[in-house]
Amino acid sequence: MAAAAPSSVFKLENFIGGNFVPCHRYIDSFEPATGKILLQIPDSGSLEVDAAVAAASKAFIQWSSMSIERRAEYLLKVADILEEQLEEFAVAESRDQGKPVWLARNLDIPRAVKNFRHYASTTPHILGTSKELTESNTLCYTTRSPIGVAGLISPWNLPLYLLTFKIAPALICGNTVVAKPSEMTSLTAYKLCKVFKDAGSTVTGRAIAQATAPYFKKLSLEMGGKNAAILFTDCDLQAAYKCLIRSSFINQGEVCLCTSRIFVQKDIYDIFVGDPNEEDSFLGALNSLPHLEKVRGYVKLALQEGGTIHCGETVDQLNLKEENKQVFYAPYSNNRSKGQYKMYARGDIWSCNLHYSF
């Protein structure tokens, strides 16, 4: 049972109608690298969700009637402020999600900035289509109109990056949003609300900065995939090692695009499963203790199904501080030449890699 949060732990607030609003109930959010309580987030219910939807619906009237050029100007201002605070956001993302600071600094936060700039710069130039039908002396054309309030949900592996990937196109097209980041990684979403508020100090800005707060009512879903790499006898193995280590284990392997299966031609299979001798480690902590236990459970299942571990837990030891030993997991790889693993029918088992011969 988790210890009670100390009174000094920071409490996030919901962001509704351009204002930060406290919640009547909170839950703990843990720092993956230490397992300690980092902050508390609102345990929002139907009242908070209804309030957010009502505020977003009200703001939609003004925001959707605004010219796309003015909406683009606002998003570009958000991007500028976010870029100015890049280091602060990178450190926050690392502490909240578990990834290395360098990765958040070079990938997550810059891509969030680019999301706002890309949609603000390109969307205003997407024109409608028209066609003249001379036979009937008519003109057919298309128009694009805002839909209303968008319900968004974002995962915990790339928290700010994927949240902005959904918010930016929704806003530039004239919609307002009620967004629900993961309950395990809500810190940068909260900080983004502050950026919205800073960028929208006018009445217009307050109207559009609606709801990127930690709601727990799911509004949309994102599904992952099981991605394969194929190695043939004429490949450059040293180049393949470098590429596969990155594609398999970047961001602790917690990316839907990460390589999770490797098919190796038989003539080079025995060579491939040798030690790639990568000198530098770039892994952070897995996002949460429950996810760590899930990974361990499926590794155990793989062994029961006849797999052979080549690296990772039970084979390698991590040289870590005592406080980190429960939340880090070594890169894991196992092989099997025939059959299938139940674990690889799942789309949410990250940080593991399976290779086959063919």
* Active site positions, annotated: 222
CA-wise closest residue to 146 among 16, 19, 59 = 59
Residues 6+ apart with CB under 8 A from 286: 32, 98, 252, 254, 292, 295, 327, 328, 329, 351
Query: How far does Cα 326 stand from its chain's mean position?
Result: 23
Long-range contact set of residues 88-93: C-beta below 8 Å, sequence gap at least 24: 88/191, 89/160, 89/188, 89/191, 92/187, 92/188, 92/191, 93/159, 93/160, 93/185, 93/187, 93/188
Tell me the C-alpha distance between 127 and 223, whole Å.
Answer: 31
- The runs of H, that is alpha helices, within 98-236 are 101-103, 109-122, 159-172, 187-199, 203-208
Paired with 130 in beta bridges are 141
